[in-house]
A and B are shown apart, each in its own frame.
Chain A
Amino acid sequence: MSYPDMVDTYWVYFLIGRYPQGPLGGLVLTLVLATLGLLLALPVGLVLGMGRVSPWRAIRWPVTALVFVVRGTPLLMVIFWAYFFLPSLTGIKTDRFVTMLLALVVFDAAYLAEIVRAGIQGLPKGQAEAARSLGLGYFRTLRLVQLPQALRHMLPSLVNQFVSTIKETSLGYIIGLTEVSFIATQINTLVFTLPTEIYLTLGLTYFLLCFGLSRCAYALERRLSVREHYHHHSHTPA
């Protein structure tokens, strides 16, 4: 079988797996998983990030411990926990997609927590002081003054985290989730004679997605820093 024949035969399979006859798979599943993973990790990461900068030790310490444990663990381990440990703990056997999604959310939330923490701590101290001086409480200050600004600064980091998440979904392979890497391997098994071409195509697919998004993050960063520069300039005495 030639490369064009292979592409012609399997491109739909590569994109969506067996859908609509079977479950959704392929590149679309990879993107759905990454998007859902990041969207669900975002609120969790926000809460954990707030916990990381909490003035109350009873909150800050356990959250910090959790974040450090997860960040010091390979994603593969988190996936194994979600796959083997969690069902034995809860008695509920989740399907592969939900298992992988859970692992991604826990893993990414820990990284997002650090992005949120940096975003909040990176703001000038005067912002919180001004808000508190008006009589706004701790949580109102966080919600109305610190987070809206921090989120803006975090935008490039969030896009970069999304890039990481896309790559992380390939580990779903290990638990038999039919994301794009798994599908590529299936195609390779069926075709048998074109492993180099198939895995180059897979690699290129990841690269184009991630490179494109990284460029977006870079452009965002530059746009934000231009505005930021203007902002600081007008604050600085000449």
Chain B
Amino acid sequence: MIQFENVNKWYGAYQALADINEAVPKGEVLVVCGPSGSGKSTLIRTINRLEPIQGGRILLEGHDIHARSQNLNALRSHIGFVFQQFNLFPHLSALENCTLAPLQLRGLSKKAAQEQAMALLDRVGLAHKANAHPTELSGGQQQRVAIARALAMQPPLMMFDEPTSALDPEMVGEVLQVMKDLARDGMTMVVVTHEMGFARDVADRVLFLDAGRVLERGTPEAFFNRPEHPRAQQFLADIRSPFASA
């Protein structure tokens, strides 16, 4: 579904992504992990062209995402994107957050858009908060609304950029649960996360990035139990006991 071909990206002289060659087949849940600054957020943001690339190609079902001729808006509407900071629209209610894009872009009637939005909010367990504004919601609730908002465009794949990193610990579970349900329903997902429990339970494959390079790829089982690269071993040791290695 997504194909990376020799993708390279620089910030000035700094190489943020180096020779990425990867394929995400339909229905796969791919977890991307790595130390901070490793390029994992950059990687996921190149998929919907929030970040430009300087070399290589990224194909979405055969379409070159970074081609000049590509209809960017149409392409982006096919990729759901969930941000670390939620980025809900604060001047709109939860329901309106979920109806805005479908009304504008999918030509739905107001009634149809609202029905769909209600169904999605119900799916993330927040139908009762439909009329609440983002400021009236907890972080976990905001992120669940943000997932519903992305789903409202009915994208065939979803990107998650550290979706639980800005949350209080007690709210992480509710968001991960929504993501697990999505994965179980067969959604193609690319997830940048530090939640290793989630990776273990849900991921089909794990990528480990460091300094813009993919150093390790494999099943969660192989990655967590038999990491080959020393950087990956170090990373896993660090997140298991953050105070031990210092």
User: Which of A48-56, A60-68, A106-114, A137-145 is the contact stretch?
Assistant: A137-145
B132 to chain A, nearest CB (A): 11
- Give Cα distance in the complex from A144 to B89, angstroms: 10
- The main secondary structure of chain A at its interface with chain B is helix
Q: Which residues of B contact A134 (CB under 8 A)?
A: 76-77, 81, 100-101, 105, 149-150, 153
**Residues of A within 8 A of B (CB-CB), count:** 26
B135 interface neighbour in A133, A145, A234, Cβ under 8 Å = A234
Q: Do A135 and B100 contact each other (CB < 8 Å), given the known contacts A126-B85, A234-B135?
A: no
Name which residue of chain B comes closest to A231, CB basis.
B135
B104 interface neighbour in A126, A136, A230, Cβ under 8 Å = A136
The answer to whether B50 and A132 touch across the interface, beta carbons within 8 angstroms, is yes
Name which residue of chain A comes closest to B135, CB basis.
A231
- Give Cα distance in the complex from A230 to B90, angstroms: 12
Q: Does A124 contact B (CB under 8 A)?
A: yes
Q: Do A129 and B50 contact each other (CB < 8 Å), given the known contacts A136-B105, A148-B91, A152-B91?
A: yes
- Give Cα distance in the complex from A136 to B100, angstroms: 9
Q: Does A127 contact B (CB under 8 A)?
A: yes
The answer to whether A235 and B86 touch across the interface, beta carbons within 8 angstroms, is yes
The answer to whether B91 and A135 touch across the interface, beta carbons within 8 angstroms, is no
Which residues on B are within 8 Å of A, measured CB to CB?
Answer: 48, 50, 73-79, 81, 83, 85-91, 100-101, 104-105, 134-135, 137-139, 142, 146, 149-150, 153, 165-168
B89 interface neighbour in A127, A132, A133, Cβ under 8 Å = A127
- Give Cα distance in the complex from A224 to B17, angstroms: 41
The answer to whether B48 and A124 touch across the interface, beta carbons within 8 angstroms, is no
Q: Which residues of B contact A149 (CB under 8 A)?
A: 89-91
Name which residue of chain B comes closest to A133, CB basis.
B81
Name which residue of chain A comes closest to B101, CB basis.
A134
A237 to chain B, nearest CB (A): 5
Q: Do A130 and B87 contact each other (CB < 8 Å), given the known contacts A135-B74, A135-B101, A137-B73?
A: yes
Q: Do A235 and B139 contact each other (CB < 8 Å), given the known contacts A130-B87, A133-B76?
A: yes
A127 interface neighbour in B81, B87, B153, Cβ under 8 Å = B87
A56 to chain B, nearest CB (A): 15
Q: Does A223 contact B (CB under 8 A)?
A: no
- Give Cα distance in the complex from A152 to B135, angstroms: 15
The answer to whether B87 and A238 touch across the interface, beta carbons within 8 angstroms, is no
| Sample of 15 further A-B pairs with CB below 8 A, known A135-B73, A136-B73 | A129-B87, A133-B150, A134-B150, A135-B74, A136-B101, A144-B100, A149-B90, A149-B91, A230-B135, A231-B134, A231-B135, A234-B135, A234-B138, A234-B142, A237-B168
Digitize A136-166: 1 where CB-to-B-CB distance is under 8 Å, 0 elsewhere. Answer: 1100100011001100100000000000000
- Give Cα distance in the complex from A237 to B137, angstroms: 13
- Give Cα distance in the complex from A118 to B81, angstroms: 27
15 example contacts (A-B, Cβ-Cβ < 8 A) are as follows A130-B87, A130-B146, A131-B89, A132-B73, A134-B81, A134-B153, A135-B73, A135-B76, A135-B77, A135-B101, A145-B89, A227-B135, A231-B90, A231-B134, A236-B166
- Give Cα distance in the complex from A225 to B57, angstroms: 45
Q: Which 3 A-B pairs have the closest CB atoms?
A: A135-B77, A130-B87, A126-B87
Name which residue of chain B comes closest to A135, CB basis.
B77
Name which residue of chain A comes closest to B141, CB basis.
A234
- Give Cα distance in the complex from A121 to B100, angstroms: 22
The answer to whether B91 and A133 touch across the interface, beta carbons within 8 angstroms, is no
- Give Cα distance in the complex from A57 to B20, angstroms: 33
Q: Which residues of A contact B78 (CB under 8 A)?
A: 135
Q: Which residues of B contact A230 (CB under 8 A)?
A: 135
Q: Which residues of A contact B48 (CB under 8 A)?
A: 133
A132 interface neighbour in B74, B76, B142, B149, Cβ under 8 Å = B76
B171 to chain A, nearest CB (A): 10
> Which of B50, B89, B168 counts the most chain A CB atoms within 10 A?
B89
B68 to chain A, nearest CB (A): 15
B141 to chain A, nearest CB (A): 10
A235 interface neighbour in B73, B85, B150, Cβ under 8 Å = B85
Q: Which residues of B contact A234 (CB under 8 A)?
A: 134-135, 137-139, 142
Q: Which residues of A contact B142 (CB under 8 A)?
A: 234-235
B175 to chain A, nearest CB (A): 13
